[in-house]
Structure 1
Amino acid sequence: MKTSLLASALAAVALAAFPVAAQASATGSVLTFTPAPEPSEMVPGEPSEAPSEGPSEGPSEGPSEGAAAVPFGPGCRKLPETGPGSPVEIAKEKVATAVEQSPELSQLAEALKKSELVEQLNSADGVTVFAPTNEAFSALSQDVKDKLNSDPAQLKKVLTYHVVSGKVKPSELQSGSLETLEGGKLTVKQENGEYTVNDAKIVCGNLPTANAVIYLVDKVLVPPQ
């Protein structure tokens, strides 16, 4: 018993004399302690936490702007993730060419060709296109479709009503009006997280192209008479 008490006392003295690390390892009945490094031995500047992940590059439900801007809206899920028509490929093309590549905008692409607007839009230095989806064109009555197909001037008037000079940011769609290339105005607003242009909803917005930005809408916009 005296031997055990003496050994414990000696161990306590040794611990008080030498700083130790918080961990100890057991080998049989003997405890081996690792002395803690002196301050001069520590490596300065090492991060205590793992680096945070970068921003997501996929479509989001809410709009964002700046270098990290990404498309937003539920309709963005219909866009291809890669290849022609995907946000990455659209960003490389002039706007009319980007529309032609998008599976969701094939009817708009055909209308742009009929109205001879492809070259004008591709040569524009910064425009915004509120692009009706195929579903939007399909919702038009047959009578309206026939009139537009038989009258290129009227078709051009309707299509230029969907184009605004300059690259419109989501923050500029909160409330107000935008002047179109047709000469009329579009009423824009944001309510309960939903963006509208006149009475059309933006289903996928903030799609950049090489010279423009595209907002997909669920209705064909009709200019005032």
Structure 2
Amino acid sequence: MTLIRRTWLLAPAALALAAMVGCASTPAPATVAETAARTPQLSTLTKLIADAGLTDTLKGSGPFTVFAPSDEAFKAVPAKTMAELAANKELLRSVLTYHVVAGKVMAADVKTGNLKSVQGANLGVAKAGDFVTVEDAVVTQADVGATNGVVHVIDKVMMPPRR
């Protein structure tokens, strides 16, 4: 009887401890903007999203599919172009929204063809097996889930056609 009583008293404490451990290892659900901010290889993109005033939009209801250039992708952009983006918020918004598609497009759902970017131009997408490309960028990390869409990390910054 004593063993049963002690086990019964310890059970709630063990459950509480298990719940706390589970909470610590499971991040809270996040929007695409928050997901990008939590992804170390997307720090440049996160800063540019904030600079362009798009953070609140990407925290909105969506859904959004974001083809997110990695920090390495931004390093490959010429310094002159990065300076131009920093000086021209309209151009920066155009470049960033060119990387966003309305709706949630998982890698498995990609069909070779075009997707309309939020910026307004079409993005050429293709899939061969698990290999997904958008324009001439390769998806290096697919299907990073978010509460309002999905993020796909890509290896290149895509520039929209000039209008």
User: Percent identity among equivalent residues?
Assistant: 34
Correspondence 1:183 to 2:120: yes
1:163 aligned residue:
100
2:56 aligned residue:
119
1:125 Cα offset (Å)? 2.4
1:200 aligned residue:
137
**Greater relative CO, 1 or 2 (CA 8 Å, sep 6+):** 2
2:153 corresponds to which of 194, 203, 216: 216
What secondary structure, in the 3-state scheme, does the structure 2 residue paired with 1:223 have?
coil
TM-score by length of 2: 0.80
1:98 Cα offset (Å)? 1.4
Q: Contact 1:174/1:195 (CA < 8 Å) preserved in 2?
A: no
For residues 181-212 of structure 1, give each alpha carbon's deviation from its aligned partner in whole angstroms, at most 9, with x where no partner exists.
10001100013542100000000001111111
Bigger fraction of residues in helix: 2
TM-score by length of 1: 0.59
1:41 aligned residue:
none
For residues 92-134 of structure 1, give each alpha carbon's deviation from its aligned partner in whole angstroms, at most 9, with x where no partner exists.
1111111111111000000000000000110132110000000
1:136 aligned residue:
73
Rounded Cα–Cα distance in structure 1 between residues aligned with 2:151 and 2:108 = 15
Correspondence 1:96 to 2:65: no
Rounded Cα–Cα distance in structure 2 between residues aligned with 1:124 and 1:134 = 26
Highest Rg: 1 or 2?
1
Correspondence 1:110 to 2:47: yes
What secondary structure, in the 3-state scheme, does the structure 1 residue paired with 2:77 have?
coil
Q: Contact 1:104/1:133 (CA < 8 Å) preserved in 2?
A: yes
Q: Stretches of 4+ moved more than 4 A in 1?
A: none
Q: Contact 1:130/1:163 (CA < 8 Å) preserved in 2?
A: yes
1:170 Cα offset (Å)? 1.9
Rounded Cα–Cα distance in structure 1 between residues aligned with 2:92 and 2:40 = 21
For residues 34-54 of structure 1, give each alpha carbon's deviation from its aligned partner in whole angstroms, at most 9, with x where no partner exists.
xxxxxxxxxxxxxxxxxxxxx
Rounded Cα–Cα distance in structure 1 between residues aligned with 2:105 and 2:95 = 20
2:110 corresponds to which of 173, 181, 184: 173
The letter of the residue matching 2:122 is K
Rounded Cα–Cα distance in structure 1 between residues aligned with 2:80 and 2:91 = 14
